[in-house]
Amino acid sequence: MTSPEQQEQHVKAWQGSGLTQVAYCREHGLNSKIFGNLLRAYRVVQKHNQRTSLIPVTYASATSITSMKRSLSSFVPSYLMKTISMLCWKL
């Protein structure tokens, strides 16, 4: 494998091939150990480049929490309702 662009092309081609790493390397005349190292490095870079995002949170009033607990109690087991009540109390 030569350039980083060619290496990335091989990784993407392997991902779409449905083959194992070893089978892909055999088909393309690549060293499977080197390909495995390349794949590990590629995954680290991809993980590093992922954007982190915030999850929107909506605060509820005490009355809406109370009504939510009432509606949940009809289908949530009582042992879970105790946990839900404790969590809602902390709000």
The torsion region of residue 29 among left (phi > 0), alpha (psi -120 to 50) and beta comes to left
H or E segment to which residue 47 belongs: helix 32-49
Ordered by start, the domain boundaries in the chain are 4-49, 55-91
Distance CA 85, CA 70 (A): 10
For residue 91, name the pLDDT band (cuts at 50, 70, 90): very low
What pLDDT does 74 receive? 73
Residue 88 predicted with pLDDT over 70: no
Task: List, for residues 55-68, the tens digit of each pLDDT value.
Answer: 787 776 666 666 76
Task: List, for residues 32-81, the tens digit of each pLDDT value.
Answer: 999 999 999 888 888 887 777 777 877 766 666 667 667 776 777 777 77
Verdict on whether the full-model pTM lies above 0.75: no
